[in-house]
Amino acid sequence: MTVQSAYQEEQRRLTESLRDISAQLQAIGPRYKGDDFTEQMLDLQQEERRQRLEISKKEPYFGRIDFQELPAGEPKPLYIGKAGVAKQGSNELLVIDWRAPVASLFYSFTGGDAPAAYESPDGEISGHVHLKRNFMIRQGEIVRLVDSFVRGQEEGSVTDEFLLYRLGENKDNKLRDIVSTIQGEQDRIIRAERGKALFIQGVAGSGKTTVALHRLAYLLYQYADRMRAERMIIFAPNRMFLDYISGVLPELGVGDIQQTTFGDWAFELLEKSVTLQDPSETMAYWFEQHRTAEEIEHSSGRFKGSLAFKAIVDEKLADFEKKIVPVVPFVPVDGLELPPALMREWYDTDYGEETLMNKRDRLVSRIRRWFESELKMRKIADKKIRSKALAKFNAFTKKIPSYSSVELYASLFQGKQASKGIPKAIAERTGERLGKNAAAAEDLAPLAYIQLQLYGLPKQAFDHIVIDEAQDYSPFQLEVLRLCQRTASMTVLGDLQQGIHAYAGIQSWSELTSIFVEEQVGFFELNRSYRSTMEIIEFANKILGEMTGGVKPAVPVFRSGDPVESAESARAGWLADIASTVRLWREQGHYETISVIGRTAQECERIHTHLLDSGFDASLVQSKQPAYGGGLSVVPVYLSKGLEFDAVLIADAGEEAYSGLDAKLLYVGCTRALHKLKLLHIGSLTPLIGK
Ligand SMILES: Nc1ncnc2c1ncn2[C@@H]1O[C@H](COP(=O)(O)OP(=O)(O)OP(=O)(O)O)[C@@H](O)[C@H]1O
């Protein structure tokens, strides 16, 4: 079949499919507004169906795979789309949902004569693939059709032409779904079993964030009876990043998943009982001046995130628990005595797995019920005796300690009681801060942990947790989140090479994986990088040089672009040089998003002001920012993590700006670029590149 006739045939089928989808949409009646519960449930289902059909109407499918089941099937075309659609009034599938088992063939098939197979609920099904075809559909028209495999015409393996086309596109201010071009190694992660803590080490641009979001959509589809969107949660590093990724799940037809930062989540859990220290102070401390490896290693964040510190907190909690059950009898009136052994028995046998404060409060109520019923049994009605007994009860139970989470945590650092294992300087600084009822980011994991132990989780446990940029998490933070699940089901993703918050994060994945028993852990690596051109990736790899940290260097897909440029700039003309580079890029008109990445917030402010004065419409990204607007932006390098831009100008890659210790920071900055990367430098280039 010629390309022309294939195109015509497919266009005919597309038009028919769209007609069918429109007819189904029209047949859906208006929304139900009454009080009948059954009708309301039906209406919700109808509404979900309507939303799925609306998604399908835009682009019903993006792929076709012709599969012949062995031993005796006929080759059958299967059309794969974002949502499954059955023909109107029939069970015949017009479009197969990309998450369905058979659709995995579309992603895993890599060409060749050998039979391909997929896992169905009834076991493995194998067969021959005859055709793999990609479409791009816009406004009801096929605008691109690429056959990546035709049986009998194989030229080696499936080509990446369609992928390369997608990667070559410009980006706006939101991350997008990749359903049409998910790669085999990504698909394996997306479809991995749900009951594990899955760790993904992926190089910059390998699609970690994107894959994790697709995995959520997959889990909700595959385990619809066991997992609920409302019981899933995504942790991202900051609100701007959350805004950046906020488009992907709705594009995949998934709503209602909570998306938050660890700080915001812990603050809510603590019922806002502390004020939070401005995180920009911490950022400024660590990023505005050069810090030594020694300072990082002994930082209070590393200490408070460690399991050694958790052991200190556990000791304090155990100490509290020991004091809950009185060791002396309670004697409300002469001759009536509640022995400590009985209180101990109640405590040990009746309150099970409840939280500490719950157990404490239940014990107090039990003591009260005990003495009231004893007085009744003994027919003691004398008001004076009764009120004396009540006063004794109050005095007795007042001695049973009661803590808010902040109080218990603060007691770790205060005065003579301060726990011995805590370095003095850390104890003093933290004690002082908590004295003002303020907490820093590093205090939130221990505080949240104490809150969970004392009061528990106010909402239902999570079915699944996604943690992005997990290299910046501490073992203690992960332990806290683990406690919020009945069984471990997590997707934890990050890149040790981008671990720029080393003062709080991890140095190797084993720091986090060791929290789980071995059988609960899955580990995947993603080494191919999809974001940037080959030239940019090869350049960025050189920055890391020998500093591999056990991570393999990023492997580019074969997408070639402009060479990476660098140019020296005189201090006096530096801002003008930045403006003229941006002007040139704008005039060339190739790029939608351009970012000037600076080393510090201060430097970025200067650049931003200069760009505004030069007539550019530029935005400045700051640490508390809720959203990233796209277009031309000026971003401090440590806030650029997770984002991407068509063109990146590293404002100053001079040796003063990036010392030998800043490899990860510069690597993060450079790997934000999709198509174009240029570095200016005042004075000599940083030795990270010079070498
Ligand atoms: N299979 C794919 N098809 C098309 N585009 C892809 C694919 N995988 C990743 N990408 C694109 O690569 C870019 C990087 O993806 P993403 O931000 O998810 O990677 P990441 O590993 O989280 O990156 P980083 O750690 O550098 O922030 C995005 O533009 C994404 O759309």
Q: What are 350-363's pLDDT values in tens digits?
A: 887 889 999 999 99
CATH 3.40.50.620 fits 548-690, yes or no: no
Single out the residue of 546, 476, 488 nearest to residue 521, CA to CA: 488
- The pLDDT assigned to 44 comes to 87
Strand partners, 525: 201
Q: For the chain, give the number of residues.
A: 691
Contact predicate 400/323, CB 8 Å: yes
Residue 378 has pLDDT above 90, yes or no: no
Annotated binding-site ranges: 202-209
pLDDT higher at 651 or 158: 651
Whole-number Å distance, alpha carbon 526 to ligand 1 midpoint, is 11
Q: What are 79-133's pLDDT values in tens digits?
A: 999 999 999 888 889 999 999 999 999 999 888 888 899 988 889 999 999 999 9
Q: What are 316-362's pLDDT values in tens digits?
A: 999 888 889 999 998 888 888 899 999 999 988 888 788 999 999 99
**Is 206 close to ligand 1, i.e. is its CB under 6 Å away?**
yes
**Is 494 close to ligand 1, i.e. is its CB under 6 Å away?**
no
Choice from 234, 530, 672 to test ligand 1 binding pocket (greatest atom count within 8 A of CB):
530
Q: What are 487-501's pLDDT values in tens digits?
A: 899 999 999 888 777
Residue 214 has pLDDT above 50, yes or no: yes
Q: What are 614-655's pLDDT values in tens digits?
A: 999 999 988 777 788 889 999 999 889 889 999 999 999 998
Residue 414 has pLDDT above 90, yes or no: no
| pLDDT range class, residue 675, cuts 50, 70, 90 | very high
The ipTM value here is 0.99
- The pLDDT assigned to 35 comes to 86
d(CA 573, CA 575): 6
- The pLDDT assigned to 647 comes to 96
Fold classified for 188-286+441-529: Rossmann fold (3.40.50)
Q: Who's near 330: CB < 8 A, 6+ residues apart?
A: 337, 338, 343, 367, 371, 392, 393, 396
- The pLDDT assigned to 157 comes to 45
Output the 3-class SS for 91-110. Answer: CCEEEEECCCHHHHHHHHCC
| pLDDT range class, residue 156, cuts 50, 70, 90 | very low
d(CA 50, CA 54): 6
Kind and range of the H or E run holding 204: none
- pTM for the whole structure: 0.90
The domains spanning 188-286+441-529 and 548-690 adopt the same CATH topology: yes
pLDDT higher at 294 or 657: 657
**Is 205 close to ligand 1, i.e. is its CB under 6 Å away?**
yes
Contact predicate 623/279, CB 8 Å: yes
Strand partners, 555: 528
**Is 180 close to ligand 1, i.e. is its CB under 6 Å away?**
no
Contact predicate 667/627, CB 8 Å: no
| pLDDT range class, residue 423, cuts 50, 70, 90 | confident
DSSP character string of 221-260: HHTTTT--GGGEEEE-S-HHHHHHHTTHHHHTT----EEE
| pLDDT range class, residue 295, cuts 50, 70, 90 | low
| pLDDT range class, residue 482, cuts 50, 70, 90 | very high
How remote is the C-alpha of 5 from its chain's centroid? 45
Q: Which of 253-262, 375-384, 458-467 has the lowest mean pLDDT?
A: 375-384
**Is 178 close to ligand 1, i.e. is its CB under 6 Å away?**
yes
| pLDDT range class, residue 504, cuts 50, 70, 90 | low
- The pLDDT assigned to 679 comes to 96
Sheet strands (E) in 585-625: 594-598, 618-620
Whole-number Å distance, alpha carbon 183 to ligand 1 midpoint, is 11
The average confidence (pLDDT) of the chain is: 88
Whole-number Å distance, alpha carbon 203 to ligand 1 midpoint, is 10
| pLDDT range class, residue 466, cuts 50, 70, 90 | very high
Choice from 160, 210, 524 to test ligand 1 binding pocket (greatest atom count within 8 A of CB):
210
Stretch 443-458: mean pLDDT, rounded?
94
**Is 531 close to ligand 1, i.e. is its CB under 6 Å away?**
yes
Question: What residue's CA is closest to ligand 1, atom 8?
Answer: 207
| pLDDT range class, residue 302, cuts 50, 70, 90 | confident
Neighbours of 547 (CB within 10 A): 13
Question: What residue's CA is closest to ligand 1, atom 23?
Answer: 205
**Is 20 close to ligand 1, i.e. is its CB under 6 Å away?**
no
Contact predicate 142/64, CB 8 Å: no
Question: What residue's CA is closest to ligand 1, atom 15?
Answer: 207
Choice from 531, 541, 668, 672 to test ligand 1 binding pocket (greatest atom count within 8 A of CB):
531
Residue 516 has pLDDT above 90, yes or no: yes
Q: What are 4-60's pLDDT values in tens digits?
A: 788 899 999 999 999 999 999 998 888 888 888 888 888 888 888 898 898 899 999
The domain segmentation of the chain, as residue ranges, is: 3-159, 188-286+441-529, 327-399, 548-690
